[in-house]
Structure 1
Amino acid sequence: MGFPLHPIIQLLMLPLWVQGSGNLHRIKHNNNETAVLGENVTIFCNLTTPADVMQITWQKIQDSLPQNIGTYSSKYGEKILPPYTDRLHCEAIEPNSSFITIREVTFEDEACYKCLFNVFPHGSHGGQICLNIITVSELRTELQSNLDSEDFLRFTYSAVGKPAPQISLFPLQILMNPPEESLALNPNGTVTITKMYNVSLETVRSLGIQHLIVHMDHPLRNEEKIIPLSVKQECTAGFSYNWLPKVGAFITVLCSSFIIICIIQRKKKFYRREHMDFRQLVGRRPLGGEKKAEIGNLK
């Protein structure tokens, strides 16, 4: 007694057909997308093979559970669900290609999103894209003099970012010891990094350094700040300007004394010249002749 082989072969090939059917509808998408906090982001999802797409559904994976946030179909158009009613735009460029745009992204938008193409008669086929939010603050710096010692300055810088920014200080030769560094994880996922340095004024003087350079690296942007040491230029030059008023007063007195001496010397020369002219005038008078003339007149 024989068994018909045709139904058995069909049963054996069924799993292959199902797997092949699934592979025919592949989704093209990026596994990860990055968005800047407060800006807009667009996520694309494409079905690589032509198919009769009835509807495209976008889901947000929240706590491992999918949540529908928007749908699009050629018959009903776009439909956005709370809480994205005012911040989400869902559209299909063509029947096999769709995208969503999230406006003014927040840290609550950081999650994985799934696009589902409802293909007739094969069911849903989808792909998953994970959204990462990044941000960074401005680099803050502060240079303070040390009240307890005049040998060094205290320099502090800090920044907030996600991921944590990398910050470095140049030149390293002026540092007295390794920096005091602290990293604080904030509730929203950002990291606050703070570093404090002790800057040696002796090294600043010996090397003639006039400014510090702080460099911050972050995927969002790089920033560099030049911190002048103009507050402590007297230390950089190696002397103090406190004596300048005294020198100015001394020079004023010296100049006044010189002027007075010149006036006195000039007057002395003038008096001496008048005295000499008077003596010369007296020495030229003919005293003898005048006396004879007077005697003759008397006779």
Structure 2
Amino acid sequence: MAEANSLSLFGENHQNHDSTWTVHGIRPQSLLCIACIAENFDNREELVIKKKYFLGELLGLLSCSSRNEIWELLVDDEEVLEHLLRTIFNLLALSDDNVTTVANEILVLLCNQLKSDDLVYLLIQEIIAKIESGCGYQQSLPYLSLIGQLLQTIPALAPTLAQHGDSLLDYLVSGLASSSEDVKTSIVFLLARLLGPLHENDIYPQLSMQIAHAILPILSSAQSLQLQTNAIGLLRRLLESKELTGFLMRPDTQPSISSVIKKILLSRNEVLQISCVQCISQVVVQDSLQAGDSGPSHTQALLDEDVAEFLFEALSTTNDLMLR
């Protein structure tokens, strides 16, 4: 028993917790108390290193496919589940990347395993509350990362955010002017996920135009590969809109879309080049859809800017996807 206790995760208040919440840990003979873990997360005086350890144990426990009793416990007590969710969410305010990364993993895991719209809604409301309280963009990175992970695993969340997340969308669009590439990388990723629902519902045409206005300068100055990758993906989504394509192809737009495309084609990064070719294809598609219109030919504009020559150079490749 002494050996088991030495391997167990109990807090000072453990004796006051129902024994139901004491479960076997991920290591042989170890025990942990879910209630003690929640109290640890809630205690601001507790050492971060201990919170980090508890997070790792909890993630390991929840990730174990054979531990169905843990999920049954959480499902049966919504009050405890919601409290645990909030205490983990509050850890995102800590300036420790390891803590916030694991905390986000657990939050996403909880939402996906329990398939609870209420939990997802609770998290989104908590994030929006943080943003509305004046959270700076650098401090908001863990929250933006959480939204991104939720959007990746719950695609149906995008239309809901597009329809009801007014303050969040305003916050994201304003953040495109941030001087931090990390911030812009996260925001551009989120906007690319949300842009489809924005177009489909036509709720925020002004926001879409603001995004289009910002994307070319971002691509022109981006240094990190991740920002370039996310931004070219967002540009591709923008070019799915006739109106936004017309705006992006205006001859007075600076930097011009042609200069951005040529820069990317010269990058020698095949992932970026493929995305760039897809953008060019999207422009051509928009032209074909407007066949017979008296408007300017966007394809001709690209040809006049010698984009074809740069494209020919980029096609000196064996990559099947690019050659298509």
Greater percentage in strand: 1
- TM value normalised by structure 2: 0.18
- TM value normalised by structure 1: 0.19
* Greater RCO, 1 or 2 (C-alpha within 8 Å, sep 6+): 1
Greater percentage in helix: 2
Larger-Rg structure = 1
